[in-house]
Structure 1
Amino acid sequence: MPSANPLICPVQLLRLNAQADTPKYQQLYDSVIRNIEQRLVGPGYRLPSIFEVSSEFDVSHGTVEKAYRLLQANGIINSVNGKGYYIKHTGIDQKLTVFLLFNKLSAHKKLIYDAFVASLGPDATVQLHVYYNDFERFRDLLQQQDDRDLTHYVIIPHFFDQEDKARQLIDQLPKHKLLVLDKLMEGIRGRYAAVYQNFKADIDSALTEALPLLTKYRKLTILFPNQTYLPKAILNGFFAFCSQHGFGAQLISSIDTEPIEAQTAYITLMEDDLVPLVKKIRQTPYRLGQDVGILSYNDTPVKEIILDGITVMSTDFEQMGRTAAQLIRENRSDHIENPFRLIVRHSL
């Protein structure tokens, strides 16, 4: 029960930008969370009354009520009849319970998961779910979860289709609990955490670094499946690089029906495309790393061995997991671009 003379959160600590796209109730909600994170207010502080906030920012009582109801639903504040709204907790001493949504299982996702769990520490609980790039499964997993049981949602948002609907669902989650991993989604409002790949810039920088090795080829061919969750930004970076440096650029969806051409470097994005490509090259007289080249996305141990080593460009998946855990532990809402690197081997 609040004391007779409670600490008071001044209305001036709240922030609202009438020109912003973010709804006003969400801005008020985020403002309270930000003040808590910055230790400007804490448990026992009384929030300004609905009338005070409405008068200060010239917004309707309903807008303020919506922000306060959302704070109350997420356990941040409680209401005392006839006295007002009080901050309940800061979340600092709350045990971390993370709802982790992966789009698929792979060796790379295991690297993220292991680093994430290890960096969060033994007192955290991580609930791993996989939705296999399927929106309906993603939606069902979210709707089956009680938000009151969770401190955070960590989501890798890759979908075969219905991405707009997925974005709307994600946008409805409490932003102070949200961390978007691997890929940024436009249209998610408010302050939330993210650790992401810059897909367009990453492929352009990796190919630029590999430029001295690529000059022996006249054409670059990228394998990009028709039905895929892969970001189109990868293609934008690929074609921009080829145009800037005078390479022929080819996009194919499958290697099965394509002849292997000399003076061509092939870029594979999916693990399933690498082995068929290697098999077809071995049936030709062409020398790998001289007549034809291979550049593959995302490193795995087997790529160090195949044909004496496959050149790869890859994000640092372990770093991605560690950074995500750090943002959660420190209650930060930063957007951090994950490191990307080129590893040169025999195939280029």
Structure 2
Amino acid sequence: MTQFSRIDSDSEVPKYKQVEELIISDIEAGIFKHGQRIPSINETSEELLLSRDTVEKAYVNLKKKGVLLAVRGKGYYVNKTTVSRKLKIALIFNKLSNYKRSLYSSFVNTIGAKGSVDVFIYNFDIAEFENIINNNLTNYDYFVILPHFRNEHANVSQVIKTIPKEKVLIIDKNLDELKNYPVVYQEYDKDILNALGEAIDLLKKYKKLNLVFPKNEYYSQFISRGFTIFSQIHNFNCQIFDSLEHKDIKQNEAYILISDNDLFELLKFIKPKNWIAGKDIGILSYNESPVKELLSDGISTISTNHNQIGQLAAEMILSQNFRRIKSPFDFIRRNSL
């Protein structure tokens, strides 16, 4: 380590981590060789214009990783010259689903060999989420969190704040209490409002617009809010159902289906009636998946790009360029509407 300019004071990466990276880089470059004593904590703090505590934290972490060996009364010595710098990342989901798998695959593929990713599922439960965090605080370099909970008033932000801020990246949902945290987020009400606007020429073919919004699956209430605002603005006769009942399925009406289970149920219902999707009944499904392009000659969807959410999150970690990004949300026009 030869110049204090190698520490970036404006970076969001903590200074102790920057010191760790400097030492590892110097070891890999052959500046420090195996068994060689490195500069003392005091020497490094003076050279880099950092506090002694900051440098000591970096040295202790490198000792824990086996990179350095501490010899009482003498200082720190290089213990190994081949240093594994693979990141350890915890990906924390509320549940498993097709679009979570897409997000996961994109995230893992983008991280590649530079990190290892473990997945945790908390099943919408704040207590289980808190257990996952508490049991793994020191085990991971980053926590990528998708925060959807059964109890909308759960104190999620307080649990997340127990993690060092520089380790946290939030995806999918923007939390008002964590406005200064990096996030790749959806705006559920505005997203559905804008996407339905792209489909308005098709929706106007139908006498009524129905949203099937299963409350027991804990989707964001802002979805139904956006649907209601859209219907009011454009004077649609509309209704919101908690579940899809056969008696509620009527010809010449359009159905926006949040759950794939309701989509499949609707397709099963219309098949023996020989109703044609896009002509006798309108079908619009929430969340894109490859199978929807093939079902019933093509199911129209409104969806964020889950692959892009995963990719953007991974790129933030790899580049250390943490920020707040709105994910795209689109209407995909097919034959069912």
- Quickly name the TM-score band, shorter chain normalised: 0.7 to 0.9
Structure 2 match to 1:157: 147
For residues 289 and 36 of structure 1, what CA distance do their matches in structure 2 show? 52
Q: Could you report, residue by residue, the CA deviation over 1:132-162 in whole angstroms, capped at 9, with x for unpaired residues?
A: 22222212111111x3332111011111126
- Partner secondary structure for residue 159 of structure 1: coil
Instruction: Using the TM superposition, give the Cα deviation of residue 328 of structure 1 relative to its aligned residue in structure 2, in angstroms.
Output: 0.7
- The letter for the 1-side match of 2:335 is H
Instruction: Using the TM superposition, give the Cα deviation of residue 215 of structure 1 relative to its aligned residue in structure 2, in angstroms.
Output: 1.1
For residues 167 and 324 of structure 2, what CA distance do their matches in structure 1 show? 14
Structure 2 match to 1:35: 10
TM-score (norm 1): 0.73
8 Å CA contact 1:101, 1:131 repeated in 2? yes
- Partner secondary structure for residue 217 of structure 2: coil
Instruction: Using the TM superposition, give the Cα deviation of residue 306 of structure 1 relative to its aligned residue in structure 2, in angstroms.
Output: 2.2
- The letter for the 2-side match of 1:206 is A
> For this pair of structures, how many residues does the alignment match?
288
Q: Could you report, residue by residue, the CA deviation over 1:2-37 in whole angstroms, capped at 9, with x for unpaired residues?
A: 99xx969xxxxxxxxxxxxxxxxxxxxxxx996344
Are 1:167 and 2:157 matched, yes or no? yes
Deviates more, 1:193-202 or 1:163-172: 163-172
8 Å CA contact 2:284, 2:301 repeated in 1? yes
- Partner secondary structure for residue 216 of structure 1: coil
Q: Could you report, residue by residue, the CA deviation over 1:242-292 in whole angstroms, capped at 9, with x for unpaired residues?
A: 111110120001112543223311000111111112222335464421232
Kindly report the root-mean-square deviation, in angstroms, between the aligned alpha carbons of the 2 structures: 3.3
- The letter for the 2-side match of 1:137 is E
Q: 1:254 aligns with which of 235, 243, 250?
A: 243
Q: 1:109 aligns with which of 84, 100, 105?
A: 100
Structure 2 match to 1:324: 313
For residues 262 and 86 of structure 2, what CA distance do their matches in structure 1 show? 43
For residues 301 and 325 of structure 1, what CA distance do their matches in structure 2 show? 22
Are 1:264 and 2:253 matched, yes or no? yes
Identity across the alignment (%):
34
Q: Could you report, residue by residue, the CA deviation over 1:292-323 in whole angstroms, capped at 9, with x for unpaired residues?
A: 20000112232223221211111111111110
For residues 162 and 198 of structure 1, do their structure 2 counterparts lie closer, same or farther at Cα, with a shift above 3 Å needed? closer
TM-score (norm 2): 0.75
- Partner secondary structure for residue 149 of structure 1: coil
Q: 1:132 aligns with which of 100, 123, 137?
A: 123
For residues 231 and 248 of structure 2, what CA distance do their matches in structure 1 show? 21
Are 1:310 and 2:299 matched, yes or no? yes
Instruction: Using the TM superposition, give the Cα deviation of residue 228 of structure 1 relative to its aligned residue in structure 2, in angstroms.
Output: 2.9
Q: What is the correspondence of 1:287-302 to structure 2 with a 5 Å cutoff?
A: 287-302=276-291
8 Å CA contact 2:107, 2:311 repeated in 1? yes
- The letter for the 2-side match of 1:139 is E
- The letter for the 1-side match of 2:10 is N
For residues 258 and 116 of structure 1, do their structure 2 counterparts lie closer, same or farther at Cα, with a shift above 3 Å needed? same
Structure 2 match to 1:340: 329
8 Å CA contact 1:135, 1:162 repeated in 2? no
For residues 252 and 329 of structure 2, what CA distance do their matches in structure 1 show? 27
For residues 106 and 152 of structure 2, what CA distance do their matches in structure 1 show? 30
Q: Could you report, residue by residue, the CA deviation over 1:77-132 in whole angstroms, capped at 9, with x for unpaired residues?
A: 9xxxxxxxxxxxxxxx9531111101111221121111111111203111111122
- The letter for the 2-side match of 1:128 is V
8 Å CA contact 1:135, 1:163 repeated in 2? no
- The letter for the 2-side match of 1:168 is Q
- The letter for the 1-side match of 2:177 is G
Structure 1 residue runs of 5 or longer lacking an equivalent are: 9-31, 50-67, 78-92
Q: Could you report, residue by residue, the CA deviation over 1:153-207 in whole angstroms, capped at 9, with x for unpaired residues?
A: 1011111126522232013321111100111122125x32211112112111111
- Partner secondary structure for residue 237 of structure 1: helix
For residues 245 and 76 of structure 1, what CA distance do their matches in structure 2 show? 59
For residues 242 and 38 of structure 1, do their structure 2 counterparts lie closer, same or farther at Cα, with a shift above 3 Å needed? same
- Partner secondary structure for residue 157 of structure 2: helix
- The letter for the 1-side match of 2:301 is V
- The letter for the 1-side match of 2:214 is P
For residues 153 and 33 of structure 1, what CA distance do their matches in structure 2 show? 23
For residues 36 and 304 of structure 1, do their structure 2 counterparts lie closer, same or farther at Cα, with a shift above 3 Å needed? closer
Instruction: Using the TM superposition, give the Cα deviation of residue 327 of structure 1 relative to its aligned residue in structure 2, in angstroms.
Output: 0.7
Instruction: Using the TM superposition, give the Cα deviation of residue 48 of structure 1 relative to its aligned residue in structure 2, in angstroms.
Output: 6.8
Q: 2:181 aligns with which of 187, 192, 208?
A: 192
Instruction: Using the TM superposition, give the Cα deviation of residue 338 of structure 1 relative to its aligned residue in structure 2, in angstroms.
Output: 1.0
Structure 1 match to 2:268: 279
